[in-house]
Each structure stands twice: as C-alpha cells, then as structure tokens.
Amino acid sequence: MPIAVLVVEDEALVRFDIADYLSEAGFEVHEAAGADQALAILEANPNIRLLFTDIDMPGSMDGLKLSAAVRNRWPPVQIIVTSGNRSVGDTDLPTGSMFFAKPYIPADIVRSMNTLIARARG
C-alpha cells in the first residue's frame, strides 16, 4: 500500500510538479492550496503519513503554524517544510521535522520522506 502524502503549496505549478514527482515515486498524493484545505484533507484521510508544506501561503495560517497544528493533532504525521523566502531553524519546526530551501531537488524530498517514514516505523 503506498504511503499517503499531503502536499500544501499555493503556487499551482510548483504543487503540480512535486505532486507528479511524488506520485511517480510511488506515493499516494493529496494536494491542498492552503492550510484550511490541508486540515480538511487530513480530517478526511486518516491514512496520510507525510506533510510537505510551503511556509508562505494565504489563509488563516502559514506553513509553520500548519506544521505545529498537524504535530499536535496528528502526531504520527511526518513533516517537511519548504520555503523560497526564509530560512528556518530546527527550533522553528515541530520536533523531528525537516526543512528544505527552494529550489529543492525533488529526489532529495523523496529520500527525506523515506527516511522520516523509516524512522517513524522504528
């Protein structure tokens, strides 16, 4: 059974590109354009195990607040945060999360997702 990942990115072309790459890598991909949509998708899909989110998005919360909300509500979900506008330290992220600056290399994202899933399985 493929591992379910939620990609949250307000720039449609960027979201489509990484979603296609992840799908080709064998992940079950869900997409959201913002945090509110992402939370609704997480509530409807308890099988999601990974969150890949941009920081800067319109709506009620940015990617850092979304990450914190996901960590609090869905602790098993592994989190990767990305941004082209700011650098983020480990203290800004939920415990165990990863950060990638844009532009990122999609293969690095896949490798990190596999690492996070393996770590979560123990």
The two beta strands, 78-83 and 98-101, are parallel
Q: Which domains does the chain have, with CATH numbers?
A: 1-10+35-85 (3.40.50.2300)
The amino acid occupying position 116 is: L
What is the percent of the chain where pLDDT is above 90?
Answer: 89
* pTM given for the model: 0.96
Kindly indicate the confidence band of residue 122, based on its pLDDT and cuts at 50, 70 and 90.
Answer: confident
Are 57 and 8 within 8 A, CB to CB?
Answer: yes
Residue 11 has pLDDT above 90, yes or no: yes
Which CB contacts under 8 angstroms, 24+ apart, belong to 19-25?
21/106, 21/109, 21/110, 22/52, 22/106, 22/109, 22/110, 22/113, 25/110
